[in-house]
């Protein structure tokens, strides 16, 4: 394996995938919004998603979430009662949710394969891996932003699992997840292709 060649392939892949995300990223995310809203409702019994959409804030394209409170919330010693009139609105840059998938696909494309059979295996493995990367990111980060509103208002020193996870992702965890997912798919494809070859030989 030539490291310089791998680096060049990686840079080229990043450029191509980055251009595709700039072109189609908003449209793709638009299709994912119903699934993201459903996931938030499943993982958070306290908030209800009232609307989830994509909008422009200045020069930025952001995801806008409007949520209500459907169950009593205890933050530190403060109790927030469910109120159908209560509304919380948060926004976050859309592009951040494509960081892990972009790195993941670029690594899959750049890393050399030992056998031709590995490429279709990588493509098959990429689909569930991409779904997992998106599922572990957007719904949790958006929901964490809601919980951060309660924490900042009523328990500034407090924390929770979802806030820690969101902080990990925004501090570089997305890149770690993307790289780990790529390593797992590459390794699995290599093992499966090797076993197929062994079976074919015998």
Q: Which of 71, 10, 26 is nearest to 44 (CA)?
A: 71
C-alpha–C-alpha distance, residues 62 and 60, integer Å: 6
Please enumerate, as own/partner, the contacts of 27-31 that have beta carbons within 8 Å and a separation of 24 or more: 29/54, 29/63, 29/94, 29/97, 29/98, 30/54
In this predicted structure, the answer to whether residue 95 has a pLDDT above a threshold of 80 is yes
Strands 78-80 and 60-69, by their bridges, are: unpaired
The whole-number pLDDT of residue 199 equals 64
In this predicted structure, the answer to whether residue 63 has a pLDDT above a threshold of 90 is yes
In this prediction, residues 189-197 reach a mean pLDDT of 85
E strand residue ranges, the chain: 47-57, 60-69, 73-75, 78-80, 83-93
The whole-number pLDDT of residue 184 equals 97
In this predicted structure, the answer to whether residue 85 has a pLDDT above a threshold of 70 is yes
Summarize pLDDT for 116-136 with one digit per residue, the tens: 889 999 999 999 999 999 999
Summarize pLDDT for 134-164 with one digit per residue, the tens: 999 999 999 999 999 989 888 888 889 999 9
Residue 1: pLDDT band (50, 70, 90) is low
The whole-number pLDDT of residue 48 equals 92
- Indicate the DSSP class of residue 112: P
Instruction: Judge contact between 137 and 95, C-beta under 8 A.
Output: no
Q: What percent of the chain has pLDDT over 90?
A: 73
The whole-number pLDDT of residue 162 equals 96
End-to-end CA distance of the chain: 28
Note the pTM of the prediction, 2 decimals: 0.90
Whole-number mean pLDDT of the chain? 91
C-alpha–C-alpha distance, residues 42 and 173, integer Å: 23
Residue 201: pLDDT band (50, 70, 90) is low
**What is the rounded (10 degree) CA torsion for 182, 188, 192, 195?**
130
């Amino acid at each position: 394996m030539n490291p310089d060649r791998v680096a060049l392939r990686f840079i080229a892949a990043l450029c191509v995938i980055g251009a595709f995300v700039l072109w189609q990223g908003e449209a793709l995310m638009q299709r994912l919004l119903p699934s993201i809203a459903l996931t938030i409702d499943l993982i958070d019994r306290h908030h209800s998603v009232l609307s989830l959409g994509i909008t422009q804030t200045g020069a930025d394209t952001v995801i806008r979430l409007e949520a209500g409170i459907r169950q009593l919330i205890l933050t530190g010693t403060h109790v927030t009662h469910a109120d159908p009139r209560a509304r919380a609105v948060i926004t976050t840059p859309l592009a951040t949710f494509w960081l892990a998938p972009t790195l993941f696909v670029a690594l899959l494309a750049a890393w050399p394969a030992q056998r031709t059979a590995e490429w279709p295996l990588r493509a098959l493995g990429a689909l569930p891996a991409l779904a997992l990367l998106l599922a572990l990111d957007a719904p949790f980060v958006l929901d964490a932003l809601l919980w951060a509103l309660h924490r900042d208002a009523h328990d500034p020193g407090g924390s929770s699992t979802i806030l820690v996870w969101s902080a990990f992702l925004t501090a570089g965890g997305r890149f770690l997840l993307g790289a780990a997912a790529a390593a797992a798919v590459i390794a699995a494809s290599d093992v499966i292709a090797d076993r197929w070859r062994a079976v074919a030989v015998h």
